[in-house]
């Protein structure tokens, strides 16, 4: 039994040269071992030219290997014309390859009309492709009514698509009641959607109590929100202190994005918060001047660079 495509292909060529009959199973096996879509497609065409009829497995395998939606869709249509049975797995594969939500949704509806029952993967894939929160939420509700298990990924995806903080928060609470694990991404998404500093800070504290460690991106969101919601300077400085204690490296330099110099959040937040507050920040720098804590130098440099420009 060949372990690699090349081994299988060499045996396949030997069989042809020896004039041995190659059946559908041999072709299907080699199509499955193919490393690229082109390899498998050439075998598929060779199979048809040999007068053999590809079965559902051959088509499904090739649809899965397709590099583009159009390639897989053409095979899908060919499958239908051949009168072959299309199962949930093939539909789910094609929905996943769809380039737009509408393409995926049309296949999803066709799947149901064919008497097939979409599974969790089909729903989750389509929720991810949804262009609006409402589209995703309708599928989410349909999924619940069908008695399907909703995982962390589907919840997190929908929280990200939420248009308001309340929509995201309701899903977040539902997630907790369902006993699902909430990760840093879900917390940071909801913290970012918070409409008040208090909302974001409460989530931040809850996250830490859950044993999760906030990363630099979450701190950047909070730093930005202290300015957005006009929090006292001490709130801002306490966040910087916590970043130092957690040994989180600040974003000090400039990030080049598409040829443009973009100031990272940490710098942006400091410059906006301390534009008229040099004295309190000087005191903060002095307080920590002799600190040996890892990454402190980055914060000290960040503050000094800002103050030197004033």
166, part of any domain: no
Cβ atoms of 236 and 273 within 8 Å: the answer is yes
Domain of 66 in residue numbering reads as 1-85
pLDDT value at residue 300: 55
CA distance 149 to 212: 25
Number of domains in the chain: 2
d(CA 40, CA 9): 11
The pTM of this model reads: 0.77
**Residue 163 counted as domain residue:** no
Residue-wise pLDDT tens digits, 239-284: 888 887 887 776 644 445 555 554 555 555 555 555 555 666 666 6
| pLDDT on residue 310 | 39
Query: Is 299 part of a structural domain of the chain?
Result: yes
pLDDT of res. 252: 47
The predicted pLDDT at position 265 comes to: 52
Q: What is the pLDDT of residue 130?
A: 98
The pLDDT score that the predictor gives to residue 29 is 87
Q: Of 36, 62, 85, which closes a domain? A: 85
Domain termination residue (choose one: 68, 85, 102): 85
Are residues 129 and 98 in contact, defined by beta-carbon separation less than 8 angstroms? Answer: yes
Q: Residue 175 falls within a domain, yes or no?
A: no
DSSP 188-228: HHHHHH-SSHHHHHHHHHHHHHTTPPP-HHHHHHHHHHHHH
User: Which among 299, 269, 273 has a CA at the least distance from the CA of 284?
Assistant: 299
Task: Report the alpha-carbon distance of residue 174 to residue 156 in Å, rounded.
Answer: 11
Specify if 94 maps to a domain: no
Residue matched to tokens 């906006």: 272
Q: What is the full per-residue pLDDT of the chain (310 aa) written as tens digits?
A: 667 888 878 888 888 888 888 888 888 888 988 999 999 999 999 999 999 999 999 999 999 999 999 999 999 999 999 999 999 999 999 999 999 999 999 999 999 999 999 999 999 999 999 999 999 999 999 999 999 999 999 999 999 999 999 999 999 999 999 999 999 999 999 999 999 999 999 999 999 999 999 988 898 889 888 878 888 878 888 888 888 788 777 664 444 555 555 455 555 555 555 555 566 666 666 666 555 454 555 555 555 554 454 3
Q: What is the DSSP string of 157-195?
A: HHHHH-SSHHHHHHHHHHHHHTT----HHHHHHHHHH-S
pLDDT attached to residue 152: 95
Residue 254 confidence (pLDDT): 47
**How far is the C-alpha of 35 from the C-alpha of 114, rounded, in Å?**
32
Q: Which of 70, 85, 100 is the last residue of a domain?
A: 85
pLDDT at position 271 is 54
Residue 129 lies in a domain: no
pLDDT of residue 253: 46
Nearby residues of 257 by Cβ (< 8 Å), 6 or more positions away: none
By CB neighbour count within 10 A (0-12 exposed, 13-18 middle, 19+ buried), where does 39 fall?
middle
Domain membership of residue 80 (yes or no) is yes
The answer to whether residue 155 sits within a structural domain is no
Q: What is the pLDDT of residue 122?
A: 94
pLDDT at 270: 59
- At residue 277, the pLDDT reads 59
* pLDDT at residue 284, rounded to an integer: 64
pLDDT value at residue 15: 83
Which single residue is written with the structure tokens 């000090």? 252
């Amino acid at each position: 039994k060949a372990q690699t495509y090349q081994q299988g292909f060499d045996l396949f060529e030997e069989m042809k040269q020896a004039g041995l009959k190659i059946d559908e199973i041999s072709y299907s096996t080699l199509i499955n071992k193919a490393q690229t879509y082109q390899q498998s497609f050439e075998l598929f065409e060779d199979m048809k030219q040999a007068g053999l009829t590809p079965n559902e497995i051959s088509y499904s395998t090739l649809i899965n290997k397709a590099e583009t939606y159009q390639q897989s869709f053409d095979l899908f249509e060919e499958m239908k014309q051949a009168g072959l049975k299309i199962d949930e797995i093939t539909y789910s594969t094609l929905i996943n390859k769809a380039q737009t939500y509408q393409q995926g949704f049309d296949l999803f509806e066709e799947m149901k009309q064919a008497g097939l029952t979409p599974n969790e993967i089909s729903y989750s894939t389509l929720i991810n492709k949804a262009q609006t929160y409402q589209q995703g939420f309708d599928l989410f509700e349909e999924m619940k009514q069908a008695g399907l298990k909703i995982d962390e990924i589907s919840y997190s995806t929908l929280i990200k698509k939420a248009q308001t903080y309340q929509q995201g928060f309701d899903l977040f609470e539902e997630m907790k009641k369902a006993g699902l694990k909430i990760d840093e991404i879900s917390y940071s998404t909801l913290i970012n959607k918070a409409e008040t500093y208090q909302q974001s800070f409460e989530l931040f504290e809850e996250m830490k109590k859950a044993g999760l460690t906030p990363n630099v991106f979450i701190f950047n969101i909070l730093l930005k929100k202290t300015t957005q919601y006009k929090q006292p300077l001490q709130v801002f400085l306490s966040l910087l202190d916590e970043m130092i204690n957690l040994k989180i490296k600040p974003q000090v330099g400039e990030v080049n994005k598409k040829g443009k110099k973009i100031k990272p959040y940490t710098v942006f937040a400091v410059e906006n918060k301390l534009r008229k507050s040099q004295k309190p920040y000087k005191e903060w720098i002095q307080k920590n001047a002799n600190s040996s804590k890892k990454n402190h130098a980055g914060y000290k440099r960040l503050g000094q660079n800002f103050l030197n420009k004033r």
